[in-house]
Amino acid sequence: MKTIIEPFRVFAVYPIRMTSREDRERAIRDAGYNVFRIAARDVIVDLLTDSGTGAMSSEQWAAVMRGDESYAGSESFTRFEAAVRDIYGFRHVIPTHQGRAAERILFQTVCRPGDLVPNNTHFDTTRANVEHAGAEAIDLPPIESRELGVPRPFKGNMDVDALEALLEERRGHVPLVMLTVTNNSGGGQPVSMANIRSVSNICREHGIPLYIDACRFAENAWFIRNHEEGFAQKPYIDIAREMFSYADGCTMSAKKDGLANIGGFLATNDGRLARQELDLLILTEGFPTYGGMAGRDLEAIAVGLYEVLEPDYLEYRMASTRYLGRHIADHGVPIVEPPGGHAIYIDAAAFCPQIPPRELPGISLTVELYREAGIRGVEIGTVMFGSEEPGRPSTAPHELVRLALPRRTYTQSHVDYVVEAILAVFARREEMRGYRIVEAPKTLRHFTARFESL
């Protein structure tokens, strides 16, 4: 069969409240034209994030009922730890309430002021935690990733020449190297096995540990199996195991490819480091056999980590992202090519070129998508990465709008609805106008800023 269907039946439903254009006009105005300030009940299709917003399976809900809520030595932790060790292969597994807690513990343990942490592209919380530990976060994306509209495989790779040069130049000041799979801030683009291997070899030559930011490891494994030579016959779980075999540890948000609504972990092969990390864990997260999660969360993740590697699930997951991307791009909507794993990124600067970056084209597009059909995307551009502080760039390198697909949550007709809305806005793109910030905090301003149209 050519038709790829959702490989599940619906077993509980959450109603969507249909709104009128007038309802939405009022909601977006009251929200200061910032979609983060809109109540979820006023949203029809919510593509704000794929983090923690997916649907759990019947097996996960069954596992939830088995949750052992013992403070110490919970059986749920034993099952969680066994799943993580089996798939990721690291010896020490440290549970955390979500990915950023794992990052905070890792960087606080290994980074000293003046250190550098290279990454293909840091996710925003990763960058913030590196900087909070007094170190500098350096992105080393490949040159071809700058050409947003040009489809090339593995645009999420790290530039290995740049890494080697940096390690030579700053010898002794790089406590670890990180690889983010898939590369979230870089358009959800994958990293090839060859690139993971090269980065690992360079790290080993320099005696520097390599960590994987593993949030979307299963989606990355799909790209390796389907787009890299030599993997077509390999089961996804073995591809995942090979990816991690080149690393010394990882951070993970189970809200992504853990198929859970909350949770995460830090893992490492270094026993001495793990002991220091556990001290920090106990101080701020919890005892080492729950780390800020309930026993039932540990159970849901232990099941989710296997379900996310099922071939039917991954085929459907990638088909739905690609379907959204192709159906808008084939009608001329400029997107980051090729479609990434979890999201489609519209190039807002090219969508409405009459709006210059300082007039926030990404905000204009998120507002229009909400007005048109109650769709919530997120600006990844000047509001998120620009700054009014002296010495920092005022605009971002790209003006993107991300439409992230929650896992196992929306069906093809929801995606068709989104496609229709985007094409309707695209047809009247010349009428779109810019916005300006009327009120914003100094840091992470995208969450709470208010705007007005120009």
Ligand X SMILES: *Cc1c(COP(=O)(O)O)cnc(C)c1O
Number of neighbours of residue 384 by Cβ within 10 angstroms: 19
Cα first-last separation, the chain: 50
Q: Does 99 engage in binding with ligand X (CB under 6 A)?
A: yes
Residue 137's SS3 state is strand
Nearer to ligand X, 51 or 364 (CB): 51
Q: Does 119 engage in binding with ligand X (CB under 6 A)?
A: no
Rg (CA), the chain: 22
Work out which of 24, 100, 155, 446 binds ligand X, going by CB under 6 A: 100
Total of chain residues touching ligand X, rule CB under 6 A: 15
Work out which of 57, 60, 76, 98 binds ligand X, going by CB under 6 A: 98
Q: Does 180 engage in binding with ligand X (CB under 6 A)?
A: yes
Q: Does 215 engage in binding with ligand X (CB under 6 A)?
A: yes
Nearer to ligand X, 304 or 357 (CB): 304
To ligand X, the closest distance from the beta carbon of 2 in angstroms equals 32
Q: Does 34 engage in binding with ligand X (CB under 6 A)?
A: no
Work out which of 88, 123, 154, 426 binds ligand X, going by CB under 6 A: 123
To ligand X, the closest distance from the beta carbon of 298 in angstroms equals 15
Nearer to ligand X, 256 or 317 (CB): 256
H helix or E strand, kind and range, residue 402:
strand 400-404
Q: Assess contact for 213 and 180: CB atoms under 8 A.
A: yes
Q: How far is CA 335 from CA 317, 403, 416, in A?
A: 19, 11, 17
* Binding to ligand X, residues 195-214 (CB under 6 A): 213
Closest by Cα among 404, 403, 392 to 445: 392
To ligand X, the closest distance from the beta carbon of 252 in angstroms equals 8
Residue 296's SS3 state is helix
Alpha helices per DSSP H over 133-270: 160-169, 193-206, 217-227, 236-245
Q: Does 186 engage in binding with ligand X (CB under 6 A)?
A: no
Q: Does 46 engage in binding with ligand X (CB under 6 A)?
A: no
Work out which of 53, 57, 120, 125 binds ligand X, going by CB under 6 A: 125
Alpha helices per DSSP H over 308-404: 311-329, 348-351, 361-373, 382-385
Q: How far is CA 437 from CA 34, 77, 346, 446, in A?
A: 10, 46, 22, 10
Site string for ligand X, 250-269 (x = CB under 6 A): ---x-xx-------x-----
What residues make contact with ligand X under the rule CB under 6 A? Answer: 51, 98-100, 123, 125-126, 180, 184, 213, 215, 253, 255-256, 264
